[in-house]
Amino acid sequence: MRRGGLTSNPQSLARGLGVLSIGFGLAEVIAPRRIAKLVGVREDRSGLIRLLGLREIGHGIGIFTQRWPTESVWSRVAGDAIDLAVLRGAFASPNANRAKVAAATAAVLGVTALDVITAQQLNIRHDGRTASGAIHVWKSMVINHSPEELYRFWHNFENLPRFMYHLESVQQSGDRRSHWVARGPAGTTVEWDAEITEDRPNELIAWRSLEGSDVDNQGVVRFERAPGDRGTIVRVEIEYNPPGGIIGATIAKLFGKEPGQQVQDDLRRFKQLIETGEVVQSDASIHWAPHPAQPPARARGAAAGR
């Protein structure tokens, strides 16, 4: 796992590529001769350029209609190969404007590199686990409070166990360091030390575990003002490598079968805590220890016998 921060969200990158596909595709369909002149291709190839434009629009629509658009982005990579083949043929033409073709080829190569990087990042399976075994999760939620308030609450890491129920405690051990203790099954615990790697007041907090920790992990939370000043979009990105052995089994149970759902539940409880002052929890079975709202077993039995 890389140190010093996480990659950009590949879904956001894919959406940007989708906009690029639709925009350029429309230009190719509407004004194929002008595009041909722009890239140095013969204007009598306008029919081919229209077909390429329809293909681009199809890629863009595919990206926006898929929840996890891996296939659509890889199809863009295949389309890039076709574009490069067309440009290579144009470069070989005796009447070609080679300077324009060379510039267009360089631009397509740059886009191809971005397509490949995005497609590789999107290869993460839906359960969030990469081929190397690392788990990488992105989730977001709108909360009806200002970025300043949410940043201030989250920046005190000791608040996190109030809505992240798998955490037993987080203790500040310095300006940028903290000690984390997570609950495991059968009364076990997992511990690690973390440090803040980037801190932009009211915008972003990034952290990572230190060397020798039980859990190799890193994360970032972003606070973005929602459109129309309707609260804040909180975006959380977490990556961790579950180790092997007993600790690995503990971590697997700690984060559940669906790590994305775990993070989403944490955000939902964060929203409840901030907006209402308490977390509404009707099912205490998700905790390894009884939830504070759950009465002791003898009290439940007495109540049932009434």
> Based on the domain organization, do 118 and 156 belong to the same domain?
no
> Based on the domain organization, do 139 and 282 belong to the same domain?
yes
> Based on the domain organization, do 101 and 212 belong to the same domain?
no
Mean pLDDT lowest for which of 82-91, 168-177, 182-191, 239-248? 239-248
Q: Give residue 101's domain range.
A: 10-122
**Pick the residue with more confidence: 253 or 95?**
95
Q: Is 144 exposed, middle or buried (0-12, 13-18, 19+ CB in 10 A)?
A: exposed
User: Is there a domain that residue 303 lies in?
Assistant: no
- CATH number assigned to the domain comprising residue 265: 3.30.530.20
> Based on the domain organization, do 71 and 209 belong to the same domain?
no
> Based on the domain organization, do 82 and 155 belong to the same domain?
no
Residue 247 Cα to chain centre, angstroms: 26
Q: Is 277 exposed, middle or buried (0-12, 13-18, 19+ CB in 10 A)?
A: exposed
User: Is there a domain that residue 305 lies in?
Assistant: no
pLDDT of residue 196: 95
Question: Which residues does 24 contact at the CB level (< 8 Å), separation at least 6?
Answer: 53, 56
What total number of domains does the chain contain? 2
Helices 70-92 and 46-65, axial angle in degrees (round to 10): 160
User: Is there a domain that residue 31 lies in?
Assistant: yes
User: Is there a domain that residue 298 lies in?
Assistant: no
Tens digits of residue pLDDT in 203-249: 999 999 998 777 788 889 999 999 888 899 999 988 877 655 444 54
pLDDT of residue 124: 54
Q: What's the whole-model pTM score?
A: 0.51
pLDDT of residue 279: 82
> Based on the domain organization, do 151 and 185 belong to the same domain?
yes
> Based on the domain organization, do 140 and 59 belong to the same domain?
no
> What single string gives the DSSP state of each residue in the chain?
--SS-PPPPHHHHHHHHHHHHHHHHHHHHH-HHHHHHHHT--GGGHHHHHHHHHHHHHHHHHHHH-SS-HHHHHHHHHHHHHHHHHHHHHHHSTT--HHHHHHHHHHHHHHHHHHHHHHHHHTS-TTSB-TTS-EEEEEEEEESS-HHHHHHHHHSGGGGGGT-TTEEEEEE-SSSEEEEEEE-GGG-EEEEEEEEEEEETTTEEEEEEPTT-SSEEEEEEEEEEPGGG--EEEEEEEEEE--SHHHHHHHHHHH-S-HHHHHHHHHHHHHHHHHHSS-----GGG-SS--TTSPPHHHHHHHHT-
Residue that is last in its domain, among 122, 145, 180: 122
Tens digits of residue pLDDT in 180-208: 998 765 667 888 899 999 999 999 999 99
Residue that is last in its domain, among 71, 95, 122: 122
User: Is there a domain that residue 262 lies in?
Assistant: yes
> Based on the domain organization, do 115 and 223 belong to the same domain?
no
Query: Are 66 and 50 contacting, i.e. CB atoms less than 8 angstroms apart?
Result: no
> Based on the domain organization, do 112 and 211 belong to the same domain?
no
> Based on the domain organization, do 150 and 254 belong to the same domain?
yes
> Based on the domain organization, do 65 and 32 belong to the same domain?
yes
Query: Are 69 and 14 contacting, i.e. CB atoms less than 8 angstroms apart?
Result: yes
> Based on the domain organization, do 272 and 141 belong to the same domain?
yes
What is the rounded CA–CA span in Å between residue 252 and residue 232?
31
User: Is there a domain that residue 185 lies in?
Assistant: yes
